[in-house]
Amino acid sequence: DVKMPYKQLQVRNLKLSDAGIYSCQYGSRKVRTSLHIFKLTISLDGHFLQNEAPELILMQNSSSPLPDLSITLFDSNNNRVTPELQNKSHQKYIMSLKKLEAMDSGTWVCQVHSDSPLIDQNIPFAVKVLGFQNPDLERKYATVDSTVILSWHLNSQKIKWKESFAGQLNWKQQEGANTHELLDFNVTAHGQLHETKKSSSFLFEIPERKPESTIEVKLPKVHFNHSGQYQCQLEYQGRHAQSKIELVVMKVSANPAGPLSRGANMTLTCQVSGPLPPSAYLRWERVNGTKMDIKNSKQQEAKLEVNISVAGLWSCQLIEDSDRKISLHYHVEEAPVWINYVIIGASVGGSLLAFALGCLCIISGISWQRRRQRAKRMAQARQYLLENKTCQCQQ
């Protein structure tokens, strides 16, 4: 298109082949302009899942000899990014980038520079990264019988993702265990989320009220065997991205259970499910107690026992990097005084009964010994009579 009155030539939908020298002649005057064209393409049309690595291809064409280009990239936060150059020729540059995160969505800039001829060109391009606003692996702590809500926040609305995608939520208790599908979901191109509950044996709820673009499950009463890995997975055009929440559950118990009598001992046990991070450990302590009432486990130990002889409120804590992640109390009641007297009376009565039984056994033993000796003498006398060793009177 030629625009008047300035004799402007507008070339639409440029292609690499449009590069060259353009001449404008008006009367005896002739002006030449060299058109240098760059073409930047990004893999997957700029639509990625988190942890995918994009590939950029920069091509150039000109009627003049092609210059050696210096290429610098800036991400959506204006941070400089150093690409890995896979292939370089004067006509084509192939670059690989690092794995993308959900926060990398936005407008990136490819800055092209050449000293001869002098070129300083900024080429913007859009990057959309579908994923989670959660970290790839998150650890959450809960106590037995408490209520827990597990949430995965999608960034689809934030980045204005206009394509439909699907996903599912799975759970397994430990590595190598069977995987159970809890629910699946799909998100339409208009951003509407539809969820379908799959598991009937696992007790959980899907909250009705929750933030938009959020996958959420509620465990109304946590059991110890509810621990494990909960993985939310996205699927788009056969590609996958996932985010895991590892649920660690704590429980405490006492042996023997019930009130603690004066002078008696009790064993308190604190246990957490699953392996702990390297810097985590368990601690038993008596609330408002002394340093003597504190016991720590070794790092990464998932079970800690403590023998106590003092009643009161005892607390088990899970500590990671000097930060208390979770705690669970166990109240040890002191037995009433009359119970102590009953126990003492029972002990004394038991001792007297044992003494009486011992005496009875001794007396019975002596009596049995005497009867045995008497029987032995009578047997000997009978034997003598049979052998005619006794005197008999004549008629």
pLDDT score for 208? 83
pLDDT score for 337? 56
- Tell me if residue 382 falls in helix, strand or coil: helix
pLDDT score for 148? 95
The pLDDT tens digits for 241-264 are 999 999 999 999 999 988 888 888
CB atoms within 10 A of CB 255: 10
pLDDT score for 338? 46
pLDDT class of 26 with cuts at 50, 70, 90: confident
d(CA 89, CA 74): 22
Co-location of 146 and 202 in the same domain: yes
Residue % of the chain over a pLDDT of 70: 90
Residue 226 lies in a domain: yes
pLDDT score for 350? 66
pLDDT score for 242? 94
Q: 36 — alpha (psi -120 to 50), left (phi > 0) or beta?
A: beta
Residue 337 lies in a domain: no
Averaged confidence pLDDT in the chain: 87
The answer to which of 14-28, 40-54, 347-361 has the lowest mean pLDDT is 347-361
3-state secondary structure the chain: CEECCCCEECCCCCCHHHCEEEEEEECCEEEEEEECEEEEEEHHHHEEECCCCCEEEEEEECCCCCCCCEEEEECCCCCEECCEEEEECCCEEEEECCCCCHHHCEEEEEEEEECCCCEEEEEEEEEEEECECCCCEEEEEEECCCCEEEEEEECCCCCCCCCCEEEEEEEECCCCCCCEEEEEEEECCCCCEEEEECCCCCCCECCCCCCCCEEEEEECCCCHHHCEEEEEEEEECCEEEEEEEEEEEEEEEEECCCCECCCCCEEEEEEECCCCCCCEEEEEEECCCCHHHEEECCCCCCEEEEEECCCEEEEEEEEECCEEEEEEEEEECECCHHHHHHHHHHHHHHHHHHHHHHHHHHHHHHHHHHHHHHHHHHHHHHHHHHCCCCCCCCC
Cα Rg for the chain, rounded, in angstroms? Answer: 43
Domain end (from 227, 248, 269): 248
Co-location of 292 and 181 in the same domain: no
Co-location of 72 and 120 in the same domain: yes
CB atoms within 10 A of CB 320: 17
pLDDT score for 395? 43
More confident of the two residues 197 and 7: 197
Residue 186 and residue 164 in contact, taking contact as beta carbons nearer than 8 Å: yes
DSSP secondary-structure letter at 83? -
Co-location of 261 and 242 in the same domain: no
Co-location of 121 and 141 in the same domain: no
Co-location of 244 and 156 in the same domain: yes
Domain end (from 303, 332, 361): 332
Residue 209 lies in a domain: yes
Residue 348 lies in a domain: no
pLDDT score for 341? 52
Tell me the two tokens of residue 154: 């999608």
Domain that holds residue 55: 2-130
Does residue 35 register a pLDDT over 70? yes
State the total domains in the chain. Answer: 3
Residue 390 lies in a domain: no
Residue 58 lies in a domain: yes
Does residue 177 register a pLDDT over 70? yes
pLDDT score for 344? 56
What are 186's strand-pairing partners?
Answer: 166, 194
Exposed, middle or buried by CB within 10 Å (0-12, 13-18, 19+), for 5? exposed
Residue 291 lies in a domain: yes
Residue type, 21: I
Co-location of 120 and 28 in the same domain: yes
Does residue 210 register a pLDDT over 90? no
What CATH number is associated with residue 40?
Answer: 2.60.40.10
Does residue 161 register a pLDDT over 80? yes
Residue 383 lies in a domain: no
pLDDT score for 86? 86
Q: Which residue has the tokens 């980045």?
A: 159
Residue % of the chain over a pLDDT of 90: 56
pLDDT score for 175? 81
Mean pLDDT in residue range 191-206: 85
Does residue 381 register a pLDDT over 50? yes
Domain end (from 113, 130, 147): 130
Tell me the two tokens of residue 256: 């023997």
Does residue 186 register a pLDDT over 60? yes
Co-location of 171 and 113 in the same domain: no
